[in-house]
Structure 1
Amino acid sequence: MQTKYLNTVLLAVFVLLVSSCKKFLDVKPVGKLIPAKAEELENLLNNTRTLDYHFIDNNRGSYFALLGDNFQISANQANYSYVSTHPNIDRYAAYTFYLPYENPRNPQYTWDWGIYRALGLFNNVIEGVKELPGASTSELGKTITAQAKAGRAWSMMVGTLGYGPMFDPNGQNDTRILPYRTSANPNDPNPDLSTTAQLFAFIEQDLNDALAATPNNVGNPSRANVSVVHALMAQLYMYKRDWPKMLTHAKEAWNRSVAVKGGVDNMIYNLNTFSYKPNPNASPSPGTDVEVALELQGPDLLLKQSDNRENLFFRLSPSGTGHYPSQEFLDLFDKVNDRRYKLFALKTLGYSTIVGSVKYDDGVVTKYYRDSKMLGNQGITYPELLLLKAEASARLNDLGTALADLNLLRKYRYSGASTDLVNGAALSQDNLLYEILKERRREMPIGTFQRVFDLKRYALDTGKPWSKTSITHNVGAKTYTGAINKANFTLRISNNVILLNPQWGLTPWSGIYDPTANR
């Protein structure tokens, strides 16, 4: 069996390796494992590196979310916090649509520590099972191979949509995006960049393979069960705009989940049962941020755990509390009856600083704390799955089923004598679909890539009220506009990866990186 390499080196070691003649995807791994049984390979699937750093920076936020319409940055933050030496100046670059957003001369967390580090582990499992005598025909070998392929498919699906344009069923989908790496050996050359169409075909094949052997139950939702694979298929077909297949897989994932979990009450928290109590460990100083001053109380102790009842497929999420939610986002909520607004849209002190003898203070602001009060998940939750099912039904004009699914989620999210959508049965197809998509925006984590991906796919719904062709951000009196489904909404491969892979024919970036220059 070939030696498998499992861990990535630190940046300092990477610099030394770059001088070698070998071409690696990102960094050359060190540390070796020669497994003797399938159980040792299975442990790789429990490694947190399979689920972390996808669209997350090292201070645990995400600039990608700032491309969308869920956030705003104040003039004080822009002028006095986001200076050129700010460790996350890429967030300001994204908000002001200054390309490239990340300094191309630096390695990327999303690429190096997220997508391809995860793929390295998944590929180790897949190849290891093939090469270990008897493992490929054993039940465990089949199961962990299927789970690894499901994990690889998710990483490549989000990578494809982050680094490239949205899939267009009426387009060529021939933009070269990423290499779909399947080799675990870092000495193997990287494949060519695959197009959007090719990547979606590879993802679909991995998911079809995974359907054959994923189990009904898993110990933790960081590992895929068969419902997860159907849910990922529903997501894939959502991005491909294949509504019948989206509905088929969403229904299968939902029905299987209800059977396994023993009912919807075990899949979705009723936010009417949630409340706050003061955090005894919080600092008593004036103006203590509500992030630490208040402790969320729910029906169990799993709210900040990966295995809380709402997580179907868990992937670590960036924090969405570092910036102010946009007014458009806050205005989406029924401020009286929506428990998400009551629980998570909280008043706190905003950014302030003193420059010389002058104080610049944003005063009391509203922040949105759901991503931190309940552990953020940018994988798949049961509420999202229910909304996938509702959206597919609405797009296929089965309005009764779509409304029933929407009202089922509202039962767990709204207060009042009736939680059903008012006059829902009288709505047209477009109006009901719009309500479902607004509910999706309220339900999804605020700080992840997910809203941006939605904006990219909605851009193909030309003329619909939920479709936008561009996003405009304000900083004080100045405006910045970025076109959706153009370069503004895609990531750029960093110079270090381009230079190590000249066969791709990409040109390294050579400009001066200074996002503050466009103020």
Structure 2
Amino acid sequence: MHSLSPNHILLVLMLVSKITIMKILKNCLYILMAGISLTSCDDFLDVKPADKVIPETYEDYRKLQTGAHEVGLIDRSRSTIFTDETILDEWGAEAEEFQDYYLWKTVLGSKARALPYQQFFKVIFFENEIIAQAANMKEGSKEEIDQLVAEAYFMRAYMHFNLLNMYAKPYNKATASTDNGVPIVTEIDIEQAFPVSTVEEVYTQILSDVDSTLKYINIDEYGKGLNYRVSKIATYGIKSRMHLYRGEYLLAKNAALEALKINDQLVDLNMEDATMPYHYTSIENVFAAEQTFDNILNFNVKVSNELISKYNAKDLRLSKYYSSSWGSYSVNKGRVPTHKCSLRISELYLILAESEAQLNVDLAKAKEYLNTLKKNRLEADFYVIEESRINAMNQDDLIDEIADERFRELAFEGHRWYDLRRTTQQSITHNFGGETEVLKQGDPRYTISFPQEAIDNNPNLRD
């Protein structure tokens, strides 16, 4: 039997632009043609039925899962353009492609580069097939198949979670059961144009899939190089993020603590040979499925003065996370393929600090989590001053400080836009090409519209 190439599977799914043409997808999922080039989708038209191979073994489906990871998700990276992290560079070669997003335009011009949408569903299609065929896989051990199925459940949950936070209103317990969310896709349906479910319905499906993940998963943490795959620590970590976004602070805390039982290590930037925390080989990078900050955007933005002003000169991140030249700063994250990071331990300490601060039962514990991170990011003499300042804070000041620390630590990793959406929705001003635009506090544009192509392909996405 031929072995399945993830690139070949990926090519097939790249050809599927409409959710409503599932008939094609179901057949295409199995097609294998040796020598098909990723750069030429037209070659697919020459594929003959005799050339298709049906995946049967665990190894076949593991390769299918690898194909899902090769889709290349850039959604959280691209969300940076909406935030107060960035200045869109007037001299950037592709700056015009991001101009409308930078100015929060509701109607996009023809030059606007499309935001990710269908990529999420390409991954979901892979996962649905793996879940559906779990009982039919041959040759793999029960432990291997269970682990693979767990990863499929998780990735399906993670894709719906990212879709929800990209294209739906932030979670509000009072309105989530009526707020429009995104389509829930848990099977390959050959006819259905999937309807939009509510935010609460999508979260219900997401958390159900996470529970299924924890039922089957048996690898605590993958070694470096395989940590693009889902492990138990990654599952608990992303689960804690999900509950944080829902304002469920006790649940967020409990999930983060479960993750830290497996790995609680932080990179100490005071060490001369420290590997950057967002590098896939760092001790704190436990889930490396996404590019930290995609290069196309990286080459077209500079770091905002607002963000730079949050760093003290003795904050080691200022010189390590950024490069300075000609009076401005550029981002070091994402410049090379090894900068892949979907979850790292520092985020878990920040989730614990925020959860404890919001719960207001043990503020000393919240300060301890925050200071543990700061100790690994600041020069030693400055840390002593910061520790004293943090320990003197009341609850409100501490919550504000934790938000600032998330801004500093997780900048340009796709967190800022979602943090703003779920918290203050503060006012932001952007200037480009002689035009000034203000995103007002609580502005409806804090929720991004579905891409027009997606609406054209699925009329259910229309408001």
Scaled by the length of structure 2, the TM-score of the pair is: 0.81
Letter in 1 for 2:181: I
Correspondence 1:413 to 2:420: no
Aligned pairs, how many? 427
Partner residue of 1:313 out of 276, 287, 290: 287
Correspondence 1:70 to 2:85: yes
The 1:68–1:101 alpha-carbon spacing in structure 2 relative to 1, beyond 3 Å, is farther
Take 1:431 and 1:125, find their aligned partners in 2: how far apart are those partners?
A: 47
The 1:109–1:123 alpha-carbon spacing in structure 2 relative to 1, beyond 3 Å, is farther
The 1:339–1:22 alpha-carbon spacing in structure 2 relative to 1, beyond 3 Å, is closer
Deviation track 1:461-483 (CA, whole Å, cap 9, x = no partner) reads: xxxxxx24432223487521124
Take 1:110 and 1:26, find their aligned partners in 2: how far apart are those partners?
A: 19
Correspondence 1:39 to 2:59: yes
Take 1:326 and 1:27, find their aligned partners in 2: how far apart are those partners?
A: 46
1:461 aligns with none
Correspondence 1:501 to 2:458: yes
Deviation track 1:118-171 (CA, whole Å, cap 9, x = no partner) reads: 112222221221333697x92222111111111121121111010111001232
Take 2:106 and 2:131, find their aligned partners in 1: how far apart are those partners?
A: 37
Correspondence 1:271 to 2:275: no
Correspondence 1:128 to 2:133: yes
Correspondence 1:481 to 2:452: no
Contact 1:160 1:178 in 2 (8 A): yes
Take 2:150 and 2:405, find their aligned partners in 1: how far apart are those partners?
A: 32
In the TM superposition, residue 417 of structure 1 has moved relative to its aligned partner by 2.9
Contact 1:70 1:328 in 2 (8 A): yes
Correspondence 1:93 to 2:56: no
Partner residue of 1:157 out of 157, 161, 172: 161
Take 2:399 and 2:278, find their aligned partners in 1: how far apart are those partners?
A: 31
In the TM superposition, residue 24 of structure 1 has moved relative to its aligned partner by 7.2
Structure 1, gaps ≥5 residues long: 259-263, 275-297, 350-363, 459-466, 508-519
Partner residue of 2:351 out of 388, 408, 419: 388
In the TM superposition, residue 380 of structure 1 has moved relative to its aligned partner by 0.9
Contact 2:168 2:181 in 1 (8 A): yes
Take 1:96 and 1:485, find their aligned partners in 2: how far apart are those partners?
A: 16
Letter in 2 for 1:308: S
What secondary structure does 2:62 align onto?
helix
Q: After the TM superposition, which residues 298-337 of structure 1 pair with which residues of structure 2 at under 5 Å, given as runs?
A: 298-299=273-274, 306-314=280-288, 315-319=290-294, 320=298, 322-335=300-313, 337=314
Take 2:430 and 2:26, find their aligned partners in 1: how far apart are those partners?
A: 36
Letter in 1 for 2:324: K
2:405 aligns with 439
Take 2:115 and 2:135, find their aligned partners in 1: how far apart are those partners?
A: 30
Take 1:55 and 1:28, find their aligned partners in 2: how far apart are those partners?
A: 28
Letter in 2 for 1:120: F
Deviation track 1:445-501 (CA, whole Å, cap 9, x = no partner) reads: 42x43200000001xxxxxxxx24432223487521124665423333334433333
Deviation track 1:320-379 (CA, whole Å, cap 9, x = no partner) reads: 4531111110000012x1000122333224xxxxxxxxxxxxxx4222324437944451
Contact 2:278 2:341 in 1 (8 A): no
Instruction: Choose between structure 1 and 2 for higher RCO, CA contacts under 8 A separated by at least 6 residues.
Output: 1
Structure 1 vs Structure 2: percent identity of aligned residues? 19
The 1:25–1:457 alpha-carbon spacing in structure 2 relative to 1, beyond 3 Å, is farther
Deviation track 1:205-236 (CA, whole Å, cap 9, x = no partner) reads: 01011111222132422111112111111111
Take 1:257 and 1:382, find their aligned partners in 2: how far apart are those partners?
A: 8
Take 2:320 and 2:337, find their aligned partners in 1: how far apart are those partners?
A: 11
2:323 aligns with 346
Take 1:36 and 1:210, find their aligned partners in 2: how far apart are those partners?
A: 22
2:37 aligns with none
Computed over aligned residues only, the root mean square deviation of the Cα atoms, in angstroms, reads 3.4
Take 2:318 and 2:345, find their aligned partners in 1: how far apart are those partners?
A: 20
Contact 1:42 1:144 in 2 (8 A): yes
Structure 2, gaps ≥5 residues long: 1-5, 33-52
Contact 2:88 2:95 in 1 (8 A): no
Contact 1:173 1:197 in 2 (8 A): yes
The 1:477–1:102 alpha-carbon spacing in structure 2 relative to 1, beyond 3 Å, is closer
